[in-house]
Amino acid sequence: MKIEETLSWIHSRKKFGSRPGLVRVEALLERLGNPEKQLSMIHIAGTNGKGSTVAFLRSILQKQGLRVATFTSPYIEHFNERMSINGVGIENQKLIEYVEEIRPFVETMDENEELSGITEFEIITALAFLYFARENVDVVIVEVGLGGLLDSTNVIAPVLTGITTIGLDHQDILGDSLIEIAEQKAGIIKKNVPLVTGNIGTTALSVIEGVARKEQAELIRFGREYSIRYDETTASWGETFDYFSGKFSLYHATISMLGQHQTENAAMALTLARKYAEIKCFSLSEEVILSGLKAAFWAGRMEKIHEHPLIILDGAHNPHAMKRLVENVQREFPEKRVNILFSALQTKDVTQMLEQLLTLENAHLYLTTFDYPQAIELKDFHDLDKEKRVDFVSVWQFGLAEILEKMREDEVFLVTGSLYFISQVRKFLIKMEKV
């Protein structure tokens, strides 16, 4: 097989749809010798902030000298980055070899009514665990794909878990309320396994606290067992904060990601790293923590892709994330005109996201669509025709070029919405830079 054929086969599994439950992924892992049981794992769930938290945590542990594997989704640059070791995605040849090894098992399972229809995500979850086990990594940081309780990553027995945030997203699958969604996220909590939580509202946190008590899981909460003091004076691109947990304090921690919410993600990652060090009985120095936080990078999250003019990419793909993005724009660019190119999936609350963007008085919104299943259709938003600060762009590549041509040097260009959209735009802009 060639890499194109390999990826085509993986993606073809989408057509089977998804049936909740862990039966299929457990069956596949058993046929592969249960590689997940050979790994030391940290499991991360949450509505938003998972990717950035994973990036901060990976960077800290890598600075410690550990061989750190990460399983994340979706990808921004290349499919291979979903399963990475020390930030480097799996090589094409190894991906081909692992798919060739797994494929016969999948085809046999398809002949069994109970096990048939294993999905793309279930397959790559098993593939990643097999890859990591054979590469002898020290620790695997696993990002939940969707929800937690019934997510295929929930087959693991982690040594540490984390839940970043709880917001309304994927209501068609996870439930219509914060309580229902919190119950799904709390599904990753395991008996006697410590749990670190991010900045989570009272309603959702109470659900998580209840499950943690039931499972006798030590609970380390943002704003309770650890906290931060945000530094408003940061002048360069990035943020600075002080961190406090019990008798431990860390001052002037600096990150290269923009946004106050990123200091919360960084603090959670720091807490996870310190707890993991305690579990594994090694010392984590302030120097390692500070250098790890500073070095962390996550594409498509308030990412500065170009300086002049200033072009920023941010995958705010649901109302919870969009609220934080709007707050960041108001704080960082209060006097500048902001040109916003936006697209999303029909499965999201697009109307609410658009309403939030239009609260930015200095913004002009360009609404577009893109080549992806369930991408929004512009005809569904004709009620915005009367809004003077909104333009419709049928082909985003042309719209992007036109915006850049009209922009003044002191303006900002923000591309936001679906991470799948951000990924396409990012590739296009990087290709333009090389021309």
pLDDT digits (tens, 9 = 90+) for 242-267: 999 999 999 999 999 988 889 999 99
Name the range with the highest mean pLDDT among 125-129, 305-309, 390-394: 125-129
Same domain, 64 and 11: yes
The answer to whether residues 367 and 392 touch, using CB atoms and an 8 Å cutoff, is yes
CATH number at 369 reads 3.90.190.20
Residue 133: the pLDDT is 98
Number of domains forming the structure of the chain: 2
Q: What torsion, rounded to 10 degrees, do the Cα atoms 35, 41, 43, 49 define?
A: -120
Provide the sign of the torsion angle of the four alpha carbons 152, 153, 156, 158, taken in this order.
negative
User: What does the alpha-carbon distance between residue 27 and residue 29 come to, in Å, rounded to a whole number?
Assistant: 6
Same domain, 258 and 389: no
Q: Rounded to two decimals, what is the model's pTM?
A: 0.90
CATH number at 63 reads 3.40.1190.10
Same domain, 228 and 307: no
Range of the domain at 378: 303-434
User: What does the alpha-carbon distance between residue 104 and residue 108 come to, in Å, rounded to a whole number?
Assistant: 6
Angle in degrees, 0-180, between the axes of helices 92-109 and 120-134, rounded to the nearest 10: 130
User: What does the alpha-carbon distance between residue 393 and residue 235 come to, in Å, rounded to a whole number?
Assistant: 35
pLDDT, mean over the chain: 92
Of 236, 265, 295, which residue is a domain's last?
Answer: 295
195-197 vs 219-221, strand pairing mode:
parallel
Alpha helix stretches (DSSP H) within 253-389: 260-280, 286-295, 319-332, 350-357
Residue 435: the pLDDT is 46
Q: In this predicted model, what pLDDT tens digit does every residue of 92-126 receive, in sequence order?
A: 999 999 999 999 999 999 999 889 989 999 999 99
Q: In this predicted model, what pLDDT tens digit does every residue of 321-368 receive, in sequence order?
A: 899 899 989 988 888 999 999 999 998 899 999 999 999 989 999 999
Of 295, 330, 363, which residue is a domain's last?
Answer: 295
Token digits of residue 99: 């798919």
Q: What torsion, rounded to 10 degrees, do the Cα atoms 22, 26, 29, 31 define?
A: -140
User: What does the alpha-carbon distance between residue 412 and residue 309 come to, in Å, rounded to a whole number?
Assistant: 7
Of 263, 295, 327, which residue is a domain's last?
Answer: 295
Q: Report residue 235's pLDDT band, with 50, 70 and 90 as the boundaries.
A: low
